[in-house]
Structure 1
Amino acid sequence: MSLKKDRFHLSKQQKQYHEHCCVPMCSASSTYNGVLSFHAFPSDLEIRKRWLVNIRREKFVPTPHTKVCSLHFLKEQTISPKTESGKRRLQRGAVPVLFQWNNYTKPPPRVSVWERVQPVNTAEPTADDQAMECAHTPPGDDHDYPKAPEAAFLDMALDRIKELEETNEALVKQLMELKICNTFALERFIQSEASIRLYTRFPNYRQFMLFWEMIEPAVHKMVRASRAKAAERRNEEVTSVRPAHMRQALQPIEELFLFLMYLSAGYTELDLANRFNISTSTVSRIICSWTNFLYTLLGSASIWMEAEDVKAYLPDDFKEFSDTQIIADCTELKCQTPSSPVIQSEMYSTYKSHCTMKALIGIAPHGPITFISSLYEGSISDKEVFRKSGLSDLLTEDVAIMVDKGFLINDLVKCKVYCPPFLKRSSQMSAPSVLKTQKIASLRVQVERVIRRIKENTIFETVVPLSIVGSINEMFAVACLLSNYQNKDLVKRWAK
């Protein structure tokens, strides 16, 4: 700012500090004294707001040390000091109005609304009226702000709107990503095959979704466990229709994810409730409902394979045992020791030295599970489990079954039994018997690999609590049936 020298005579101020004017395009400071005075912003919020509007400082926050020099105030707004050493003060309500952009002149008073609004004149204006109107028309608006062209202003506004829309879309996308990362849900692990394998036993997200697409049409027919119990108490017919007042805590696919986590990873109900932000009672109902649903749905499809179908997929390694229809073996699940001594004696297994539950698993030669028995007490023998399972009723005379040495079932079946030979009374096994034992053992081991896959579900690796004994049969069957959908071929060269 260039000041007129005939108006102000400035001299150097001898002070340790200096004050500066905060008005744009004003370089006045307290380095020179004698004429200028500097005034802080008023404490009154309304007057302070008028100061900020007049000095045109966008997004400016004044501090107690922010000053405006006396160049921007009218003379009648200042109060002269009573003594020479006193400071000049401003009158109450004084507002800066003199600036470089209005040439340090007082702005004209605002025209009243009655003067700005032209009266409606129906008569045609005369030449004198038009001349008088042009003479009284102000050259600009009723304020002294510089006005940008309308087209340029509109382009700037459109560009700003577009920029804000893009920023908003980016923030919404970022918010959704953060929400997914902070929420324990299936979508969070789409790209992580290791996580999908840990939580669901499915090898990847794609295979999990293929299984979901297969069962999804029947999900709406699911009968919830709580609804079934309520209908039983009222002696009413159970329906799969959810009442309108009942709110679903999770989506069906998330419920399936929760159930598979309970089965595969072995998380407790409290842990799952914390992960999915629901109550433990809701977790318990979801697990019970999905156990019954999958047991009914997957169990409704026959997994038993006829002899012709087995031969169509028979691996080349079974050419010497081409009539083998099923490979069977027993497995045991450790369970919590019951308090009753009688039940303890029935559940105790001398082989595992623990209370167990025993089941019979049968697979086709190329790997899929084709037979699942119920769970029995651990003290029962393998032969008795085979007899109670009903597998002998499915075997015909033209097929064969492959078992371990512990299955003395020749008198229980009509078909051929491939079993490693016993040593009997000989001190050493003959060469043909050794070769036969090796061949059968190398093929029969496939059923143990399938059992190992089933026991990869953590709930069966640990000691099964007595609290879930009522549903352990259905849960074990569901784990076996899911194994046919979750795993790849046992041996790559057998895949057809």
Structure 2
Amino acid sequence: EEPFQGHNIQETVEEHEISDDPAVFRIVKDLSYEVCELQAHNEFLLRDVHVADLKTENESLKRQLHSCSQYTGAIQNAYYACSTQHAASLLVSLSTAKTTKFGAELILDNDEKTQFYTGLTSYSLFQTLFKLLKPFMEKRISKKRPPLWSIKDEFFITLSKLRLGLLYKDITCRSNISESNVSKIFHKWLDIMYRELRQLIVWPDGEKLYETLPIQFKKHYFNVISIIDCFEIFIEESLSLESRSCTYSQYKKHNTLKVLISIAPTGSITFILNVWGGRVLDKVITQKSGFLDKISYDDLAIRGAYLEIPAFTRGKKQLSMAEVEKTRQLARLRIHVKRVIGLLRNKYIILHGVLPITLVKRPSDTNVATIEKVVTVAAALTNTSSSIVFK
């Protein structure tokens, strides 16, 4: 039963105007005592109900607090475990960083790092090239002055400079070797690589070229020998006014060097030799670079080879439909030489930026300038990667 909500007896007397009869007044007084007792009992009952609710709520809160404490403890344990593991991994990383130097050890059995630091497709290819070139470098090492680094580390540094375009100062900070020694190492290896690796740039045999001709060439240009184009490399301004004049390119609005490149239909680089000033016309470079000497009489006469160039609107209002279609067909195939040039320059970033004069030609260069060695070595190494032309 719900507790009785009592009323004040005085209010009841005043409301009903009870008479002044003593007997009635005593009855009312007795009733008021009973009402007061009932009110006190009612308050006690109300208090008991409230306390019971509070106890129930308190028990529920205790259970929630206990579960929260357990959850918090689990989180703390996980945090401490993660912190300990992270600290251990940091210690391992620091110890590895201290023990791993900037050398061939950095790419050991790691094809991804090999490709990033050297541009070569795999570590096994790095090993193969090193074994090929190692005997030639050993002949140049003086017994009185042993190398500051191992021969393999020097080879790695040379490839890294070609691949990433690192400054001598950067390599010095990584290796604790003076800039002059880094420069000597680079040029020694560059000379050997130029002399030995340029054999990877081969002019293809006509019959073998036809046998390996991609399908996209067979329909309209089955007798194609080569696709040629020129690309430019930015260089610093020379102190010589004559050199500035010879190398300034009106097209690039910068001092540049121009290189003629020829690729086979399969995408391999077949000719890249001389480097010219950016002012020289592509036509003049083609005539005087020795490229035409590569084309044999058999190619010109027996196979009926001839020069194909896109149509121009010079002297015309517009091209004919036949010229437009022919130019479109040429563009589909000529784009491959642009892709190879992009591959060459992106793979070896030293050709992508502005070359310092010291890498263009050094006073000690006699027959071949340094930049020609750099371009030739980069092209030869690019030929070791897979072709970008679909067969």
Q: TM-score, normalised by structure 2?
A: 0.68
Please state how far the C-alpha of 1:300 moved relative to its aligned partner: 4.5
Q: Distance in 1 between matches of 2:298 and 2:310?
A: 20
- For 1:65-80, what aligned pairs fall within 5 Å after superposition? none
Which residue in 2 is equivalent to 1:30?
none
Match of 2:136 among 221, 245, 266: 221
Per-residue CA deviations over 1:257-281 (Å, capped at 9, x if unaligned) read 1001111101111211221232222
- For 1:398-413, what aligned pairs fall within 5 Å after superposition? 398-399=298-299
CA contact (8 A) 1:336 1:355 kept: yes
Letter aligned with residue 203 of structure 2: W
- For 1:45-124, what aligned pairs fall within 5 Å after superposition? none
Please state how far the C-alpha of 1:200 moved relative to its aligned partner: 0.8
Please state how far the C-alpha of 1:438 moved relative to its aligned partner: 1.1
- By relative contact order (CA 8 Å, sep 6+), the higher-ranking structure is 2
Which residue in 1 is equivalent to 2:206?
307
Q: What secondary structure does 1:278 align onto?
A: coil
Please state how far the C-alpha of 1:415 moved relative to its aligned partner: 4.3
Q: RMSD in angstroms over aligned alpha carbons?
A: 2.4
Please state how far the C-alpha of 1:302 moved relative to its aligned partner: 5.9
Please state how far the C-alpha of 1:468 moved relative to its aligned partner: 1.8
Q: Distance in 2 between matches of 1:366 and 1:332?
A: 23
Match of 1:468 among 333, 356, 359: 359
CA contact (8 A) 1:396 1:415 kept: no
Identity across aligned pairs (percent)? 30
Per-residue CA deviations over 1:109-137 (Å, capped at 9, x if unaligned) read xxxxxxxxxxxxxxxxxxxxxxxxxxxxx
Q: CA 1:358–1:308 in structure 2 vs 1: closer, same or farther (change >3 Å)?
A: same
Q: Distance in 2 between matches of 1:188 and 1:309?
A: 40
Letter aligned with residue 462 of structure 1: G
Structure 1 position 178 matched with structure 2 position 96:
yes
Q: CA 1:426–1:178 in structure 2 vs 1: closer, same or farther (change >3 Å)?
A: closer
Q: Distance in 1 between matches of 2:170 and 2:358?
A: 17
CA contact (8 A) 1:180 1:188 kept: no
Q: Distance in 1 between matches of 2:239 and 2:354?
A: 15
- The gaps in structure 2 that reach 5 residues or longer are 1-91, 362-369
Q: Distance in 1 between matches of 2:359 and 2:340?
A: 24
Match of 1:488 among 381, 386, 389: 386
- The gaps in structure 1 that reach 5 residues or longer are 1-173, 224-239, 401-413
Which one has the bigger helix percentage? 2
Which residue in 2 is equivalent to 1:379?
279
Q: What secondary structure does 1:209 align onto?
A: helix
Please state how far the C-alpha of 1:184 moved relative to its aligned partner: 2.1
Structure 1 position 434 matched with structure 2 position 324:
yes
Q: Distance in 1 between matches of 2:316 and 2:135?
A: 64
Which residue in 2 is equivalent to 1:284?
183
Which residue in 1 is equivalent to 2:238?
338
Q: CA 1:243–1:427 in structure 2 vs 1: closer, same or farther (change >3 Å)?
A: closer
- For 1:82-481, what aligned pairs fall within 5 Å after superposition? 178=96, 182-190=100-108, 192-213=110-131, 215-216=132-133, 219-222=134-137, 240=139, 242-300=141-199, 303-319=202-218, 320-399=220-299, 415-456=305-346, 457-470=348-361, 471-481=370-380
Count residues in correspondence: 287
CA contact (8 A) 1:397 1:416 kept: no
Letter aligned with residue 106 of structure 2: R
Q: Distance in 2 between matches of 1:322 and 1:204?
A: 34
CA contact (8 A) 2:201 2:379 kept: no
